[in-house]
Structure 1
């Protein structure tokens, strides 16, 4: 009996020891990440034709940076990013935490490394969009089905707008999105610009109330739609935030600048990418400070721009560079020097044909 008690106590003590050792040494889990390099000079971008967009999550001191794929504007192809642990200066991606160059583990999205993305379709449903509204809805559904089948961990939402958000659905799957855009009401099938009017889903009443009190712009305004979704919708932690804005008119802001492109850029740059699909001749409008080019919101957030016919003939969202960007995203990991505090993180991408930098002020 004494021997049995002794053995049991020995096993129990061992369990306590090794459990404590594992809990107190989380760095043992980070041996796959290279140490911080020395003597590395981060190159200064000169072209500034790409803009890194990322979301952050942490596991202990391990920082996971979900980096949306970047499209090289000179080739229209996704950039291939890599970190050279043998010669870090030869890398084409650099991450600095509070001025210290980090050792990186860079993994392309694929099997065992699935990108999480939340995509919002902002759809101008003013009267001028009547010609293209059905084609836009069909393209959204096709695109959602395509992305969902591609293996991405992706959710979709819609904001319909005119001078304020007037319809939509919170994040859901492609099937529920299809049901919303192809729903039937008391009068029959809902078509045209009415497809994105009125809110749907379990939180529709709450969304309706928030939209009615969110604010008004001077006219058609995709900025207020994007900020509404960014502020109100149920984004997942660590998910890439992607907006695709469909419109045929300028962004019409208030005289004091509320809901203008500068406001959108200030709130969304570095946090999300906004991609613009513009269904009108870009030379048709006279743009000014109150009637702005809607695609400027794409320029400042690192998004892309697509011009299509005014009836959206041949629109295929799978041809948008954002599709390639999502499929060519990266998980970038490094070990933080200290967690639970505010950090300044700078991401620099530098290749022969494309470069750019983005700074994040973030607490993790």
Structure 2
């Protein structure tokens, strides 16, 4: 408006000098300038709105959200996304003719273009010449992400286009290829005959729209950039990765009364066949007081009994139950399961190989061999093992195949009998690291657990499952880091991550350590079954000789073979940082229920 005010001041002065002067033509020129300035202001407002909308679109693509609706407006469309954001775009109508007199250059087209890194950056198009918008250091300006910039256009007092990259705090002139500032408001014609009609108004052929066309094809909204002809497409809700959008998730139910189910610790990984799907694998959830395992149903199912929230937002989910669970629901029990329906598992055996375990040592080793063979025939499972003799780790084999585990237990010279089968190392590096795990107060499952967690090479996305064999209390010698409390989320000694694994305990000396009579002492003589209690695992009490017990009949076997894969739409903002995951399970009759919250969860990008 500064240019307009200057012209009005000139008119007032000229009128004061000669009241007889015929000022009609001059007023026509002032009105002409007024029209052009008003047009520029309207163009500016629309361009800046469109710039913001374009950025919202690209953020939606980057964050993998879906289109919930597209509504027509007087001059375009309003697009609503599944994350609650919205963008308004205008049609690609031609710009209006310029008014009499020589107009300035067309408004510079601010648009976007995908670079070779697959990311979108801002560009400017002046008289058909395309160039990247860059900062003072020459870096291209990203449209989305943590360093995203939203350009803002203005016209300065001299009538030139200026742009701000800091939300209007500072502005710089827009320059053409020759390094000259770009005129926004043209100089008015000289007195006399009317000038010829000017060229089309800014921003030229496609008016104030960034898009030359908007269409819907095969479940996608397709927008064509006017500046470059590049197509941008976004899926509608029904094309969400799992077949339904998060907007269909509905409210998560609240529990009535106490929880009576145990929810195990999950593992998260991005689906190896579709990067828009996040998988959450869970080992089986046993129905209290029975030997049955729950079948889970996700969003939209009439019997939905599991809900998931990420950072407080309900997620639409679909559930793949193991074939074992499905067979039971059909009335035919099957002990087999396919790789497709089974969660991946890395199983680590924590074995007390002190002298007190000599009676059951061979039986334990043979059961490990038999059980691992059975599991590996029907599941995607690998194994590791850690041994301890009183206060120090004295043997280990990293996550490996079932064949390598059997060689470790059977075929090493000097390690083929009794407690010696779980001593020694096949990896010198592990042996070196084990030297630091040597100051427990006696048999200590905690020292083995944390040795494996801190040094084994677990597969990304695999459920980590520990099976702890012992006949004595957990004795961490006052070290809270090796205590059962280290896996208790309510303890000050907690140092166990939300997805680090579930522990199952096999305790073989109830004669000396009866739960109702023995005086457990925290950080000294602790109940080893609490490892299972705190991580959602299972326990079994057996006799000292470990007779008449098969690992295949233990609850841990059912937990592994009756596992689930819960699928949800994966958005890019979930890939970075730490997240809070809430899982609620509630049967349709309300008889069985549980809720658990995992904090500081980081999602891995591969299941391989």
State the TM bucket, normalised to the shorter chain.
0.7 to 0.9
Counterpart position of 1:288 = 521
Counterpart position of 1:32 = 243
Task: Provide the secondary structure at the position in 2 that maps to 1:166.
Answer: strand
Segments of 4+ moved more than 4 angstroms: 20-29
Counterpart position of 2:268 = 56
Show the 5 A alignment for 1:92-241. Answer: 92-110=305-323, 111=338, 112-150=340-378, 152-162=379-389, 163-185=391-413, 190-200=416-426, 204-241=427-464
Q: TM-score normalised to the size of structure 1?
A: 0.85
| CA RMSD, Structure 1 to Structure 2 (Å) | 2.5
Counterpart position of 1:344 = 580
Report if aligned partners of 1:56, 1:63 keep a CA contact under 8 Å in 2.
yes
Counterpart position of 2:291 = 76
Show the 5 A alignment for 1:304-319. Answer: 304-319=538-553
Mapped partners of 2:231, 2:286: distance in 1: 45
Report if aligned partners of 1:221, 1:253 keep a CA contact under 8 Å in 2.
yes
Mapped partners of 1:77, 1:269: distance in 2: 29
Show the 5 A alignment for 1:10-49. Answer: 28=239, 30=241, 32-37=243-248, 40-44=251-255, 46-49=258-261
Report if aligned partners of 1:52, 1:349 keep a CA contact under 8 Å in 2.
no
Counterpart position of 1:297 = 531
Counterpart position of 1:257 = 480
Q: Which has the higher contact order (CA 8 A, sep 6+)?
A: 1
Q: Following TM superposition, by how much is the alpha carbon of 1:224 offset from its aligned partner in structure 2, in angstroms?
A: 1.0
**Structure with more of its chain in helix, by fraction:** 1
Report if aligned partners of 2:264, 2:502 keep a CA contact under 8 Å in 1.
no
Report if aligned partners of 2:268, 2:280 keep a CA contact under 8 Å in 1.
yes
Query: How many residue pairs are counted as aligned between the two chains?
Result: 338
Counterpart position of 1:326 = 560
Greater Rg, structure 1 or structure 2? 2
Are residue 354 (structure 1) and residue 592 (structure 2) matched? Answer: yes
Gap runs ≥5 in structure 2:
1-223, 225-229, 324-337, 489-493, 604-608
Range that drifts further, 263-272 or 175-184: 263-272
Mapped partners of 2:467, 2:498: distance in 1: 16
Report if aligned partners of 2:298, 2:317 keep a CA contact under 8 Å in 1.
yes
Gap runs ≥5 in structure 1:
1-16
Change (3 A) 1:242 1:38: closer
Q: Following TM superposition, by how much is the alpha carbon of 1:196 offset from its aligned partner in structure 2, in angstroms?
A: 0.7
Report if aligned partners of 2:249, 2:315 keep a CA contact under 8 Å in 1.
no
Report if aligned partners of 1:273, 1:302 keep a CA contact under 8 Å in 2.
yes
